[in-house]
Structure 1
Amino acid sequence: MYTRWRLYILAVFVAIILILLFACRIWRKRGHSFSAFREVLLILGVVLIVETLIISTLSNFNLGVILPAFFGVPMVFLAFVLPHMKKGFLLFLKWLIAACYGVAFCIFIVCGFLMVRASTEGKNVEADAVIVLGAAVHGDKVTWVLENRLNTAMEYMNEHPAAICVVSGGQGAGESVTEASAMKKYMVERGIDASRVYTEEKATNTNENFEFAKVIIDNVLGPDAKIAFVTTNFHVYRAGQVAKAQGVNAVGIPADDVWYLRLNNFLRECVGICVYALRGDI
């Protein structure tokens, strides 16, 4: 099924690119000028806008879903208006948009480096306890994002039979049970001993995930227990910084992201890192 969806989405994007290339060719044949640079801007902008439209039907609506279109709309605008932006306000607007894209590109490079580096630090970690950070559940069923996190945690627990696990997450809107209870159910149904899985059912954000889970670990193993945490790969860096702010010395173990959300999650996480940095949280 996943491969089929990949092919469907790829086919949509290829069709859009081919249609736009054909349209640009017809436009030139009719005597209109349309440079290769403007053609690239048009195609990239439309692709980003369509990406938002597609993902909005497949995922919960959030900032990450909107951001591709946020970057795509100015590209489409520039593709059509660029030849006229030679003086006055339009010239100022052109350079303002260019400056914004330049700043955004630099932010993406820096944040991407931090995310990739953090996601490779937990490959050989030895821990007494693993905290699994919660994510939305549908009713009482774990989502694909959360399933990947739990599978990663179970793999670690099978390799480290003495380790315990704390699944952390409260109950949000549209959820019939707490995230933690759904997570424990998923793990126990797949062979993990229920006595090794502890539920933390009050947390509503990453700060509380670590704060409340640490209390459970201290009660079970003592304050000197070595701790790791599992979250999606793009989130490891920011979650690790939150853990440090909570006084929790923990190493992140990355879980795979959902393939069709990678761009959206990357963009949203870049914004999240910037916001946390500006607030002094990391």
Structure 2
Amino acid sequence: MKPTGLLEVTAVRPVTPRTVRVTFTDSDLADLEPWPDQQLKLLFPPPGRPVRLPAADGDVMRWYQAFLAVPENERPVMRSYTVRSRDRDTIDVDFVLHSGSAGPATAWARRAAPGDVLGRYGPDAAYRRPLSTADTLLCAGDETAIPAIATILSEVDNAVAFVEVADAAEEQPLPGEVHWLHRDGAGHGRKLVEAVRGAALPEGSVAAWLAGEASTVRAVRRHLVGERGWAKNVVEFTGYWRRSLTQDDAPTPEDLADAAEKLEDSAGWKGN
């Protein structure tokens, strides 16, 4: 499969009051093997301009350098997303419509319509991670993590999931053991951290998959490693977004520390 390409919108439909599902097609996707937590980069063109993709030769670093070389007024905005589902040459991607000032992805999703075109980089099998073989896999995240959690739950029967969303209207049908947590006006992440801290997990080996708002993910990970004594290399974690910051803002010291630990842990990541 070509590492980059153009995705054309074929359908747009609401999933919940705050989530919209967009179906894309690209003939290059037909030969791509699906896997859980399959991620790709979406490239949103500047308003009124077509998508400009740098040349791709299979080397991600050279591609990224070529991407940065595109003039700023023509360069797409790049954001990471998880494939919600696959059907031959189509993929579904869920967009959470964040409240307040809309970023480029939310603004695009609110007006998306069949025929619209985005660029993509990936999905790339080089970033595929093995699923846990532990007796219990703890999944925890917010609404931005639902697509990945859904694909993980469809593949395993040893998972316990905690998902924090705005309210009951944001729940989605998911397989397996899922504990829904409703903020109902409470601070983002508070109920998720409290629920994981209070969770009584089955006996046996454990592993965790965590994603969502970065500071919340950090708090849950600290609890598992620092308070429960879990080994760092059984906790896979990703901060999808940051409060009051975008992916274009400079990384905070906490972000840099997380990145360093992820690099360290990736060498010894265990799926058990």
Tell me if both proteins adopt one fold, taking TM over 0.5 as the criterion: no
Q: Of Structure 1 and Structure 2, which has the larger fraction of its residues in strand?
A: 2
TM-score (norm 2): 0.39
Question: Which has more radius of gyration?
Answer: 1
TM-score (norm 1): 0.38
